[in-house]
Amino acid sequence: MAATLAPPGERYTVGEAGATYIEHLEYVMERKRSTIADYRGYLNQHLGPFFGGRPMDRIDRARVEEYLLTKKRSGLSSKTIGNHLTFLHGLWSFGVKREWVGRNVIALVDRPRPPRFKERRIKFLSREELEALIRAAPDDYLGDVERPLYLCAAMTGLRQGELIALRWWDVDWSASRVRVADSYVRGAFDSPKSRRGRSVPLGERLGAELERHFQASRWRSADDLVFAHPFT
C-alpha cells in the first residue's frame, strides 16, 4: 500500500498532515511498527487535540512553545515532550517538501533538557545478587525457563524483547556466540531497536546452562523459541 500524499499548496491541520506523514513513514520509509504506534499516539492523544483546526502555516514558534509548556505542566516528562518535538520536526520537514508550509518553525524551538539524576552510573547486579535472583526462581516448570533466561539476560545484555524472540538457531555453541536478529515488541515480532542484527559472546557457563535447558525443553526445533512457555 502506498502513502496517499495530499496536493502541494493546500492548507492542513496538524491532525490531517500528521496522518499523511505517518502513513508515509509506515509504507514508504518502512519505519518500525512500534515507532508508528508511538507516533499515532502522539498525534491522536496530544498534538491533534491541542492544535485543533488551526492550519500548519498558522502555527508559529510561540504556539509550539505553549504546547511544550502545557504538556510539562500536565505532568509529561521532558523525554516524552522531546519525543513529541522530534515528531513535529519531522512533520514540518515533510510539510516543507510538499509546500504545505514555507519553513520548519520547529527548528526554532529549544528542546527540553533531560533532568539530571544524582546517580548517573549504570546499575548492574553483583554476582551475589545474580545468584540470589536465580535461586529465587520457583521450583516448577516456569522456574525451569526463568533461571536460564535470567542468566542469559545478565551475561549477554539482551533487551527483554530480544530475549523473548531468541530462537535456537540464534544460539551458536560452536562459535560461542548468541546472534540477535529479532525482537518481540507489543505482541509482534520485529527487528531489534537498531534495525540491525548483532552477535554477543556466549560465555561457558551460559552455554552449558542453555544446553541443559535445550535438552529439557519440549521445543527443540531450530526455529523454536529458546524461552518458550512450557505449556504452549
Distance CA 36, CA 14 (A): 16
Q: How far is CA 206 from CA 92, 157, 198, 200, in A?
A: 48, 12, 18, 12
* Domain at 127-216: CATH architecture: Orthogonal Bundle (1.10)
Where are the domain boundaries for CATH 1.10.443.10 in the chain? 127-216
What are 56's three cell numbers? 500548519
Give the pLDDT of the chain (232 residues) as one tens digit per residue.
444 444 555 789 999 999 999 999 999 998 988 899 999 999 999 999 999 999 999 999 999 999 999 999 999 999 999 999 999 999 999 999 999 999 999 999 998 887 666 666 777 889 999 999 999 999 999 999 999 999 999 999 999 999 999 999 999 999 999 999 999 988 888 887 666 789 999 999 999 999 999 999 999 999 999 999 988 7
Delimiting residues of CATH 1.10.150.130 domain(s) in the chain? 14-108
Q: Which residues, in sequence order, are bridge partners of residue 200?
A: 178
Name residue 167's amino acid. Answer: R
Question: What superfamily does domain 14-108 belong to in CATH?
Answer: Tyrosine recombinase, N-terminal domain (1.10.150.130)
R_g of the chain computed on alpha carbons: 23
Q: Using the CB atoms, write b or e for 173-211: b if 16+ within 10 Å.
A: eeeebbbbbbbbbeeeebbbeeeeeeeeebbeebbebbe
- The residue count of the chain comes to 232
Burial of 152 (0-12, 13-18, 19+ CB in 10 A): buried
Bridge partners (DSSP) listed for residue 167? 225
